[in-house]
Structure 1
Amino acid sequence: MSNNKPRINPTFNFVKEGSWGWKVALGYDVFMMFLIIINLFCLCSNAILMSNFTNWFFDLFRISEILVYYKTELNPWVVITESWFTSLLIIELAIRWIIAIIFKQHQRWFFFPFVHWYEILAVIPQLRFLRLLRAGVIAYQLHEHGYQIFPKSWYKQANFYYNLVMEELTSRIVLTVLSGIRKELTTSTTHKQLISNIINQHRELLAISLTDILQEHLGKELQQQRKLIAQDVGQIVNKAIEDTPELTQLLRLIPIVGSRIEQQIQSIGQRLGENITQGLIQPFTTNAQSDNTSYRLISEKISQIPIENNPHIEQLVESVVFQSLDAIQQQVKVKQWQQILEESKNESLHNKE
């Protein structure tokens, strides 16, 4: 057993672990667990034997005298022993409450019935099935201490069905809540304000995320393509000079060196275009690993765009919200216990092979 595993004390958890009193407390827990199991077994058997179905069954096989003997001789003893056991539980709870107060097991003296609510309710005849919960708690405590009261397969099955019940309950609750949210968003006239409030609360985070995205992707792409972009802009400037007939006509009026000056002007214009482009791109390619001021300013401006004045942004936000709800609903509908059961079946078939 791992030393890091949390250990759970027995019923009387004020005693020191490993001491003589601690062992007595564990023995008491084991005794109460089996006593509860026997009591519930007797009650279930008595309920079955006293039912109309049992009367019909025994009459069918003509052995009704056995049932008559049970009802006249044994059933009164079951009723009496149940009364004794219920009285024992009441006295035991009262003693444990007094002990809890003396040894200050809880922060307040009246916390005991709330902590042990299932034991209190189990005293009521209609809620006697809750006694099984106490037996299960005791068995779990003993299992945590390394005492194997039941086979490991029983613990595994109990844990599986516990997770199954909890998953089904939580799934129903989550799906109901999500359906209510969807209905509220689609029918309420204030859902736009609700979405707007959500966006306003996350504008700062949106600006930071946009900055990271621009630096990570746009900055690297500009760095890789800056030379090609500069060359393209230079060629555009060169082409613009060539397509300026007034300048060409003016230079051709100069004899001998006119054409040479025209070529130099085109070369200078192309170089200027490339250098200006490099200068414009430079701020967006620096500080790739740190906060880039240019990207931060752009991101802040984008994050502050009001969605109320832009129907496309409003539709985008609503689409994201509704699709997020759909994705959560689909995930909640996935039954994990079915997957676990299927994996167990496949593992069993594999072991058999």
Structure 2
Amino acid sequence: MNSPDELPGHKPPTRAWRAFLIYDILMMVLIVVNLLTIAIDHLMFTNIGLSAAQFIGQTGWVYEYREQLHPVVQTVDEWVTIYLVIELLVRWLVAIVFRHHHRWFFFPFIHWYEFLACIPTFRALRLLRAIVIGYRLYQLGYKVLPDSWLKAGRFYYQVVMEELSDRIVLTILDGVERELKTGATHHHLLHQLVNSHRVQIEQAMGEVLQNNLATALQAQQQQIAQGVGQIVSKAISDTPELHRLLRLIPVVGSLMEQQLQSIGQRLGENITAGLIEPFAQPATTKQPVNAAINTSASYLGQLRIDTPALEKLVESLVFESLDVIRQQVKIQHWKLDQAVQEDLERATRKPISVPDA
């Protein structure tokens, strides 16, 4: 056990510090003994205590205790309660004089369990005072309890807190889902949710279009332009009115038709390339989304979601998000941590095989 003198960087304790330390230890012992006597006193007035006495053949002990020792225990508990009240008021006065807290009335809120423990009905809260003192001694280097007990206590504390928090979160999620499904204002909430994230929607749409559409257009720009040019050329050749008109021109009519088809094809290719070029511009450090795609994303981000399909999509995303969170909350992480700890302990206990010389 490390004493405070052995702790690194700890100043040698003064007489006042030792006096407070001894007082804390005595208070912890007093509270524990007081709670034990109260628990035994209550046990003696239950059928369990009487049955246990009958089992060992000492029923007279129970009746003797009820008649003689019970009044003594009650009197001692009353004096202990009076002492705790006086001690608490003195500590409050000291905290006010020496300005231990920002406001004088903060003390009752910080030590709420001590104030409630002065009420006989809430005597069990005195155990919290003993736990606080024990924890303070543990921080100072005094092992009030064995390490195995502290480890088990931390483990079960984490289990209880995780299970309680999980139940609270699941209840809240169920309430949110029920409100969204049955409430009359869920459409307004969904619209408000989308409206408050329109800037993020625009940015996300711009990045998606830049990473997918711009890249695809850049790779297929030549093929698309050639395809459109061929379509224009075929459209010219498939126009019977133009074909008949050119046939009326002797000698050069067929040549003009070929030239028109070639010109139309090049026009189609150039126009298509010009239309694709702004959208196919690659991203840069200063401009992660090109201007054309940014304009399109801004327009898409401002779309209204009054259509049934969009409203259904948003509702589906919200409900599935709640389900994902619910499934994640249901995972008992303390079991996973326990399994990992057991694996580590087995690995450390595994004997190391030494190769034969």
Deviation at 1:22, TM superposition (A): 4.0
**Paired residue secondary structure (1:109):** coil
Q: Residue in 1 aligned with 2:177?
A: 182
**Paired residue secondary structure (1:107):** coil
Deviation at 1:117, TM superposition (A): 0.5
**Paired residue secondary structure (1:48):** helix
- Go from structure 1 to structure 2 and tell me whether the alpha carbon gap of 1:62 and 1:110 turns closer, same or farther (over 3 Å shift): same
- Go from structure 1 to structure 2 and tell me whether the alpha carbon gap of 1:225 and 1:146 turns closer, same or farther (over 3 Å shift): farther
Deviation at 1:248, TM superposition (A): 4.1
Deviation at 1:346, TM superposition (A): 4.7
Q: Residue in 1 aligned with 2:303?
A: 305
- Go from structure 1 to structure 2 and tell me whether the alpha carbon gap of 1:82 and 1:195 turns closer, same or farther (over 3 Å shift): same
Is the counterpart of residue 318 in structure 1 residue 315 in structure 2? Answer: yes
Q: Residue in 1 aligned with 2:336?
A: 339
List, as ranges, runs of 4+ consecutive aligned residues in structure 1 with deviation greater than 6 Å: none
Is the counterpart of residue 208 in structure 1 residue 206 in structure 2? Answer: no
* Rounded Cα–Cα distance in structure 2 between residues aligned with 1:337 and 1:112: 35
The 5 A counterparts of 1:283-302 are 283-286=278-281, 288-289=283-284, 290=287, 291-302=289-300
Q: Residue in 2 aligned with 1:266?
A: 261
Structure 1, 283-292 or 110-119: larger mean CA deviation: 283-292
Q: What are the Cα deviations for residues 113-145 of structure 1, in whole angstroms up to 9, with x where unaligned?
A: 111000111111221111111222223333344
Structure 1, 294-303 or 276-285: larger mean CA deviation: 294-303
Deviation at 1:96, TM superposition (A): 0.5
Contact 1:220/1:288 (CA < 8 Å) preserved in 2? no
Deviation at 1:40, TM superposition (A): 2.0
Deviation at 1:85, TM superposition (A): 2.1
Is the counterpart of residue 224 in structure 1 residue 222 in structure 2? Answer: no
- Go from structure 1 to structure 2 and tell me whether the alpha carbon gap of 1:187 and 1:265 turns closer, same or farther (over 3 Å shift): same
Q: Residue in 2 aligned with 1:108?
A: 103
- Go from structure 1 to structure 2 and tell me whether the alpha carbon gap of 1:84 and 1:333 turns closer, same or farther (over 3 Å shift): same
- Go from structure 1 to structure 2 and tell me whether the alpha carbon gap of 1:280 and 1:146 turns closer, same or farther (over 3 Å shift): farther
* Rounded Cα–Cα distance in structure 2 between residues aligned with 1:300 and 1:173: 40
1:125 alignment partner AA: P
Deviation at 1:302, TM superposition (A): 1.8
1:113 alignment partner AA: P
Q: Residue in 2 aligned with 1:5?
A: none
Q: CA RMSD in A?
A: 2.8
* Rounded Cα–Cα distance in structure 2 between residues aligned with 1:239 and 1:150: 92
* Rounded Cα–Cα distance in structure 1 between residues aligned with 2:141 and 2:276: 68
Q: Residue in 1 aligned with 2:115?
A: 120
Contact 1:251/1:259 (CA < 8 Å) preserved in 2? yes
* Rounded Cα–Cα distance in structure 2 between residues aligned with 1:327 and 1:252: 71
Structure 1, 104-113 or 40-49: larger mean CA deviation: 40-49
1:319 alignment partner AA: S
- Go from structure 1 to structure 2 and tell me whether the alpha carbon gap of 1:317 and 1:278 turns closer, same or farther (over 3 Å shift): same
Q: What are the Cα deviations for residues 152-196 of structure 1, in whole angstroms up to 9, with x where unaligned?
A: 332222222222222232223222222222222222222212222
* Rounded Cα–Cα distance in structure 1 between residues aligned with 2:237 and 2:183: 63
* Rounded Cα–Cα distance in structure 2 between residues aligned with 1:156 and 1:230: 72
Contact 1:46/1:78 (CA < 8 Å) preserved in 2? yes
* Rounded Cα–Cα distance in structure 2 between residues aligned with 1:70 and 1:350: 54
* Rounded Cα–Cα distance in structure 1 between residues aligned with 2:282 and 2:336: 48
Structure 1, 58-67 or 246-255: larger mean CA deviation: 246-255
Deviation at 1:260, TM superposition (A): 4.5
The 5 A counterparts of 1:32-51 are 32-51=27-46
TM (normalized to structure 2)?
0.83
1:317 alignment partner AA: V
Q: Residue in 1 aligned with 2:149?
A: 154
- Go from structure 1 to structure 2 and tell me whether the alpha carbon gap of 1:151 and 1:226 turns closer, same or farther (over 3 Å shift): farther
1:295 alignment partner AA: I
**Paired residue secondary structure (2:105):** helix
**Paired residue secondary structure (2:95):** helix
Q: What are the Cα deviations for residues 30-88 of structure 1, in whole angstroms up to 9, with x where unaligned?
A: 33223322322232233323432222222233223444554455444433332332222
Q: Residue in 2 aligned with 1:329?
A: 326
* Rounded Cα–Cα distance in structure 1 between residues aligned with 2:90 and 2:11: 21
Identity among equivalent pairs (%)? 46
**Paired residue secondary structure (2:89):** helix
* Rounded Cα–Cα distance in structure 1 between residues aligned with 2:336 and 2:41: 39
Deviation at 1:283, TM superposition (A): 0.8
Unaligned runs of 5+ residues in structure 2 are 1-9, 351-357
Q: In the alignment, which of 192, 203, 228 is matched to residue 233 of structure 1? A: 228
The 5 A counterparts of 1:247-258 are 247-251=242-246, 258=253
Structure 1, 224-233 or 98-107: larger mean CA deviation: 224-233
Contact 1:100/1:112 (CA < 8 Å) preserved in 2? yes
Contact 2:177/2:319 (CA < 8 Å) preserved in 1? yes
